[in-house]
Amino acid sequence: MELRHLRYFVILAEELHFGRAAERLHIAQPPLSQQIRQLEGELGFELFHRTKRNVQLTEAGQVFLCEVQQIFRQLQQATQVGRQTSRGEFGQLVVGFVSSATYNILPTILRSFRSCVPGVSLELHELTTDQQLEWLREGRMDVGFVRPPVDENRFSWEIIFQESLMVALPEAHLLANESDVCLTSLANEPFILFPRILAPGLYDLIISLCQQAGFSPNVAQEAIQMQTIVSLVAAEMGVAIVPASLQNMQRTGVVYKSVQESTSKVGIAMIWRKNETSLTVQKLVEIVRQVANQL
């Protein structure tokens, strides 16, 4: 049994007239009649009652028609899914991100991706940079958004967003009313910082800025997530140097001040495996690049 036999059957069942069905199929009537007879022979039952005046489906033919129509619907869906997959527009991606990315570029990326590729489901995980590298090595994740740099040759990565650093102060702090802050004035302050292993690039930049201002920060408390760091600042546990986009968090009890000294910008990088063959991953990479270029 071939697919064309089923197609012939469906057209004849719709027309209930061999001449009109043959015309729709662009074949002569005798070959159509022969193909239907051949199909009935393979099935072992009659599909149509034939008289000189009309053609009617048998009871078995009516049931068979419903099943065949379902097959064609499934085939159409399978074809569509196959085409979407071939364009990277269907499937699932596991995506990791550092917490601070949710306050800058990540929401825009997610909106654009969902709009452009609604057939791909995203499984999102909030992870530190070192955790994302581990997940990528183990094949547990497809694309990550991390704090650069990344020193492993097995990964491809590129910076997609850059921003300045700011000082986060408790709102009752003596410097809270200043328009900007000189880092030297923070030399005796307790600092809240994350462990270096979580994001070495950002950590080293913060330490370097303090050392250029003439002191090494007194780290009174460590925290893993940026939200926690800001919350501890609000609790007057210390001060922190954070990416500027943390202002979007709008945490009560914290004020953000620009740094008087010239500072390097910090970035968010997109990262994925160099040997990645998934068209869906390539589609995400393409969309992220478009978003980054528009900022």
Q: What contacts 24+ positions apart, CB below 8 Å, involve 203-211?
A: 205/165, 205/263, 205/264, 205/266, 206/165, 206/241, 209/165, 209/183, 209/241, 209/259, 209/261, 209/263, 210/183, 210/186, 210/241
For the chain, percent of residues with pLDDT exceeding 90: 78
Per-residue tokens: 274: 């160099």
111 Cβ contact list (under 8 Å, min separation 6): none
pLDDT at 88: 64
Other Cβ atoms within 10 Å of 250 Cβ, number: 9
pLDDT at 260: 93
For the stretch 17-34, pLDDT in tens is 899 999 999 999 999 999
pLDDT at 47: 93
Helix, coil or strand: residue 87 = coil
Angle at the Cα of 199 (from 96 to 156), degrees rounded to 5? 55
Residue 176 confidence class, pLDDT cut points 50, 70, 90: very high
> Residue 147 gets which letter from DSSP?
P
126 near 135, Cβ under 8 Å?
Answer: no
pLDDT at 39: 92
Q: What is the mean pLDDT of residues 103-130?
A: 93
Q: What are phi and psi of 103, to 5 degrees?
A: -100, 0
Residue 201 confidence class, pLDDT cut points 50, 70, 90: very high
8 near 24, Cβ under 8 Å?
Answer: no
Residue 108 confidence class, pLDDT cut points 50, 70, 90: very high
Q: What is the mean pLDDT of residues 56-76?
A: 91
C-alpha separations of 148 from 98, 207, 293 in Å: 11, 16, 18
258 near 264, Cβ under 8 Å?
Answer: no
Q: Do domains 3-86 and 165-263 have the same CATH topology?
A: no
Q: What is the mean pLDDT of residues 170-179?
A: 95
Question: Quick one: fold of 165-263?
Answer: D-Maltodextrin-Binding Protein; domain 2 (3.40.190)
C-alpha separations of 129 from 34, 150, 190, 270, 295 in Å: 68, 9, 25, 11, 23
pLDDT at 275: 87
144 Cβ contact list (under 8 Å, min separation 6): 95, 96, 97, 127, 132, 133, 135, 136, 270, 271, 272
pLDDT at 89 over 70: no
pLDDT at 67: 93
Residue 51 confidence class, pLDDT cut points 50, 70, 90: confident
Please give the mean pLDDT across all residues of the chain.
Answer: 92
pLDDT at 85: 66
pLDDT at 229 over 90: yes
Q: What is the mean pLDDT of residues 68-87?
A: 80
Q: What is the mean pLDDT of residues 53-72?
A: 91
212: enclosing H helix or E strand = helix 200-212
Angle at the Cα of 154 (from 151 to 155), degrees rounded to 5? 70
CA distance 281 to 214: 45
Residue 250 confidence class, pLDDT cut points 50, 70, 90: confident
Please name which of 102, 96, 97 lies closest in space to residue 230, comparing C-alpha atoms: 102
pLDDT at 62 over 90: yes
pLDDT at 264: 86
163 near 244, Cβ under 8 Å?
Answer: yes
Residue 87 confidence class, pLDDT cut points 50, 70, 90: low
pLDDT at 84: 66
pLDDT at 277 over 90: no
**91-161+267-294: which CATH number, 1.10.472.50, 3.40.350.10, 3.40.190.10, 3.30.930.10?**
3.40.190.10
Residue 263 confidence class, pLDDT cut points 50, 70, 90: confident
Rg, C-alpha atoms of the chain: 32
pLDDT at 123 over 90: yes
Model pTM score: 0.71
pLDDT at 163: 95
Domain ranges of the chain: 3-86, 91-161+267-294, 165-263
Q: What is the mean pLDDT of residues 215-229?
A: 95
Question: Quick one: fold of 3-86?
Answer: Arc Repressor Mutant, subunit A (1.10.10)
